[in-house]
Every structure is written in C-alpha cells, then in structure tokens.
Amino acid sequence: MSYQVLARKWRPRTFREMVGQAHVLRALINALDNNRLHHAYLFTGTRGVGKTTIARILARSLNCETGVTATPCGVCGACCEINEGRFVDLIEVDAASRTKVEDTRDLLENVQYAPTRGRYKVYLIDEVHMLSTHSFNALLKTLEEPPPHVKFLLATTDPQRLPATILSRCLQFSLKRLPVELIIQQMTFILGEEGIASEPAALAQIARAADGSMRDALSLLDQAIAYGGGTVHEADVRAMLGTLDQGQVIALAEALAAGDAQAVLQQVNSVAEQSPDFADVLAELVSLLHRVALAQVVPSAVDSSLSGSDAVMRLAAQMTAEDVQLFYQIGLIGRRDLALAPDPRSGLEMVLLRMLAFRPVDVGSTVMATRPSPAVAPKAPLRAPAGAAAMLADVAAAAGARTIAPPASTAIKSMPPPSTANPAPLAEIPAPRGAMGWNNIVEALKLEGMVRQLATHCALKKHDEDSVHLTLAPAHLSLRNKKIEERLQQALSQHYGKPMRLIIEVGTPHAETPAVIQGQRETDRRQAAVQTITDDVNIKAMQEAFNARVVPESIQPV
C-alpha cells in the first residue's frame, strides 16, 4: 500500500476528533441534535484550520444511514463513500478552477432533482470568493431558496471578497488560527500512534512555523521525519527550517544584558557567517525576551520542556524588568522597519545598538552620556551670562534620565555636591492632619500591587484595639476582592503583632484617602518645582541670552 501523508491519514472523521474550533462545533452539534438545520453554511478562516474538514463531517452527519446525527457511524455505505470521496450526492467544487458563469449554471442545473443515494444533496464549494460577479448573481436565487433536499456548504479564506448578498443568505462560522499548544499536543499524539521518537523543542519549532495551521504543521512534520531519518530532533528541524541555533540567540541576549556593545557586534558577526534571515534572528530574540519576561513575573509559566530554559531563568535574574520590556519593544518596532534599512545586517545592528543606547541609566549619574567632551567643543562657544555656566554644571550633575533638578533656593534643601549619588528632593508638602494616620499606616505596611491600590483608595473610619474600619468610595468598588482583602488583613495583623479584623464599608469617605493625599503632594511638588525654575535668576538670564523658553511640562521634581 502506498504511503499516505499525515495530513490526510489523520484528517478528523468526526466532530469529536476535531482539534480546536469548539465555538463552531458547539453550534453545529446543537443544530444537528435539535434538527434546526440551515440551508447554507459559510466557513471562513486561514488555510489548514478545518474548514473543508468540518464541511465533510457535516455532510456525513446529514446523510448517515442511521439518521441526521452529530455522531455519524462511519461504517454505513454513505459514510464510507463520503470518506472515500465517491458519494454521488456530495458535489465538491473548487471555485478557483470554475469561475465562469457557465460553470455555475451547469452546477445548478440538477439542483431541483432529488438526491440519488443520500438524504440530502450537498454542494461543497471551496474558495468560493474566487467566483466571478456573474457567477455569484447566478447563485443568489438558488442559495436563498433552495429545494428542501439541498444544502450548500461554502468555504473561503477571504470572506471580505464575498458580496453582502451572499453573506446575508448564509450562517457564517469564523474558524480561528490554532494555538501553538494545541498543535504540539496533536503532533505529540500522532507521533505516539505512529511510534516515532521526537523532542518537545522540535515540535515547538514546527508549531510556530505552521502559524496556526494544522495542515501546515503536519506537512512540516512529514518533512521533518524524512529529514531526520525517522526521528524528529530539534537540531534537524532547525536545519530544515533554516532557523538560528538557540545558543547564539541566548549569547546575543547575554551580551545585551551585560551592556557590552563589542560583544553584541561580535555575536552578530558570528551569526552572519550562517547567512541567516536577519528578520528571523530578530524574531528569535524577541521570542526569547518574551520568555524572560514571563520568567520574571510568573516563573512557573516557563516551559521547562523547551530548550534554553536554564538560560531563560539566568537572564531573568540578570536583567531588570524595565530592560526586558524596552528591548522587546525596540525589537518589535525594529523588525517592522528592517526592510527600510540599507541592508538587513546593518538594520539588525542598529536595532541592537538602539537597545543599548536607550537603556535606562541611574538617576544619580553625575555625567550625562550626551554631553559633548571639551575636545570636540566648538571653537567659539556662546558665552552665557555670569552664573549661568555654573548653573548648567549643577543641572547636568543632578540630572537623571528624565528629570532636571532646580537650583537651590529657600523652598528647597541645599544642593548636594555633584558627586552625591542622589539629588536633593523638594521640601515635603504636608498632608491634611485628619488623614495622616491611615496614610502613615499604609506606608509602613510596604504593600504592593492590588493590595496597595485597595488600601490607598480607602479612608480610615474607625480604629479599635482589634479591628480597622475603612470606607471605600463606590467609584473604586472594582478593587474589592476577597483574596486582596485577606492579604491586607494579614499585613495589618503582622504590623500590629496581633490578629486584626478588617471591615470595609462602601460609602463616601469622611477623610482624604492616601491616594488623594499622594496626588495632591505630587501636584504641589510639581508646581513648586516649576515655580522655582521660572523664578530663578540664572534661568531668566539664560532665557534672555539664548532667546530660550521654559516648558513647564518638562520639569519633574526629584
């Protein structure tokens, strides 16, 4: 017997064997069980997600000799003939090869005649969007009011090209791309049934390359089995697909984590020796950064069966969450713009160097990276008024990545020398006396995440020896959650060193909440910073000398 490819051998024969598309199967199964059958169905979705397969199963369900059922027997004459593609009352048409109106008229000539073999005469038209306008017009009347023994099953990958008159006459089911996990699960099952050894990382590579299509995945799996001589290994799959070795991508990420530009360029040179697709290199790096971000937030979400899991955990410890997110975003945008670069390699190098250039620096840094050195300064520099140069030096020394510290004044503590790690903060703005108790407690609890959100939006109503009564405004009712309240109660009990009851009432707070206090503080500190900058004599002198202006929105208190 000749070899049958996996995509055909393992094509589902019943709804139960289908992988994914539960939203479509549920509607069809209920319709069959309750005998609520429409005369025309339209299945849409990308290639290889099950459109034609579902249509054929539906045809078997309609014509099974046991009756109309969602579970066709698979052994009767009608089921066997449909499986073998020789059922006379299932008319399958490839619209791509029959686009003329004459073809459609020929197809519909026999619609009025009763089925020869089965219960229904089923017309399965694949890639229906390829029909011409005249063909659609010829199909309209029959599609709207067909004889009771006729069912139309239409399939297309491009529903936007179908006339609205056709869409309005059909029940439309949109099939989704299959998740990578489902594709891996199905391939694992098939290989187990076939008795073929495989590696999980190899199947993950194939599933990602399939881009949501089960048929593409099984075709690639067939190719991988042939390439590997009867086994499916990660190295063989990478060589077959032309993807980069994971170790080189990890080395590239480690160089970025270390901030070593020379090592980054050396690694790019090493990668270039394999003549890869540099867009794929960037895609592999972005995918790795995604795994690192998951490891930082939810370590249990890292799939240990995939290659490089140890390196992912190591990178998660080496890199800050901010760096990972920044690199990921720059990588995404860089991949989109890679086609605009003079050549792909230089485009990749610029993306990687951009990651390092925009990497956040410590706020306490005393040297600004963009400040020109005296060796390349203009021969005839502009002269600032007296005191302006010293002020600029102080500003540069106290500046962070996004902030500019105002000069010393009566409203600000004395400025530390340039070598001090942290710039001087603005004077604290006092909070209202009545609300300070709960605000101080919240600060002492060192809360994080949603627990802190809940606490800061509550106001203290009453404080007993063994209980804390809070009021939460109705506008923030969504913050209430049993687990979050339990964590806040635990934090209060730990703070007081004894069990404490937490009672939260919904109503209008009688005092300002910590969130309101903090917001007012930030507003006051920002206004004070703007006022300090605009009133400073040195700033005014610079405005006159350079025709400059102060942008209040750019001023940040430190």
329 pLDDT higher than 70: yes
Answer yes or no: is pLDDT of 199 > 80. Answer: yes
CA atoms of 12 and 4, how far apart (whole Å):
15
Sorted by sequence, the CB contacts under 8 Å of residue 363 that are 6+ apart come out as 400, 401, 403, 422, 423, 558
Among 2.40.50.140, 1.10.630.10, 3.10.20.30, 1.20.272.10, name the CATH number for the domain at 246-357.
1.20.272.10
Asked whether residue 416 carries a pLDDT value surpassing 70, the answer given is: no
User: Look-up: residue for tokens 């086609």?
Assistant: 339
Q: Flag whether pLDDT at 428 surpasses 70.
A: no
Distances in whole angstroms, Cα of residue 545 to Cα of each of 385, 540, 555: 7, 9, 21
> Torsion-angle region of residue 74: left (phi > 0), alpha (psi -120 to 50) or beta?
left
- Kindly indicate whether the domain formed by 6-174 is annotated with CATH number 3.40.50.300: yes
Closest CA to 95 of 128, 141, 47, 46: 128
d(CA 369, CA 261): 15
Q: What is the CA radius of gyration of the chain?
A: 34
Domain-wise residue ranges, the chain: 6-174, 180-241, 246-357, 385-427+522-554, 433-511
Alpha carbon distance 42, 34 (integer Å): 20
Identity of the amino acid at 380: A
pLDDT band at 425; cut points 50, 70, 90: very low
Has residue 354 got a pLDDT over 90?
yes
Does 346 score more than 50 pLDDT?
yes
CA 181, CA 204: separation in Å to the nearest integer? Answer: 8
pLDDT of residue 108: 84
pLDDT value of residue 324: 94
CA distance 218 to 471: 59
Give the residue, 449 or 285, on which the prediction is more confident: 285
Q: Which two structure tokens, joined as six digits, stand for 413?
A: 């503590």
Residue 391 confidence (pLDDT) above 60: no
The closest alpha carbon to 352, from 296, 402, 278, 291, belongs to 278
Rounded to an integer, the average pLDDT of 130-156 is 90
State residue 538's pLDDT score.
84
- Predicted confidence (pLDDT) per residue in 493-536, tens digit: 999 899 999 999 999 888 889 988 888 888 888 888 888 888 88
- Confidence at residue 66, expressed as pLDDT on a 0 to 100 scale: 93
**Mean pLDDT (the chain, rounded):** 83
State how far the Cα of 267 lies from the Cα of 272, in Å rounded to an integer. Answer: 9
Return the CATH fold of 180-241: Helicase, Ruva Protein; domain 3 (1.10.8)
* Per-residue model confidence (pLDDT) at position 361: 64
Q: What is the pLDDT of residues 74-132, one digit of tens each?
A: 899 999 999 888 999 999 988 888 778 887 888 888 888 899 989 999 999 999 999 88
| pLDDT value at residue 435 | 56
Q: How confident is the model at residue 305 (pLDDT cuts 50, 70, 90)?
A: low
Taking alpha carbons only, the member of 264, 246, 262 closest to residue 254 is 264
Q: Which of 208-217, 274-283, 320-329 has the lowest mean pLDDT?
A: 274-283
Determine which of 182-191, 359-368, 535-544 has the lowest per-residue pLDDT on average: 359-368
Per-residue pLDDT averaged across 43-69, rounded?
94
Question: Read out DSSP for 40-84?
Answer: EEEEE-STTSSHHHHHHHHHHHHH-TT-S-SS--SSSHHHHHHHT
The pLDDT tens digits for 5-55 are 999 999 999 999 999 999 999 999 999 999 999 999 999 999 999 999 999
Instruction: Give the residue from 403, 404, 397 showing the smallest Cα distance to 419.
Output: 397
Residue with the bigger pLDDT between 406 and 313: it is 313
Q: How far apart are CA 54 and CA 35, in angstroms?
A: 18
What does pTM read for this prediction?
0.57
Cα dihedral angle (328, 329, 332, 333), rounded to 10 degrees?
-150
Q: By C-alpha distance, which of 537, 536, 538 is closest to 528?
A: 536
When pLDDT is averaged across residues 539-556 and rounded to a whole number, the result is 83
CATH class held by domain 433-511: alpha beta
> What is the spatial distance between Cα 54 and Cα 72, in angstroms, rounded to a whole number?
13
pLDDT at position 348 is: 94
SS3 call for 361:
coil
Would you state the pLDDT for residue 399? 36
Check residue 169 and give its pLDDT: 92
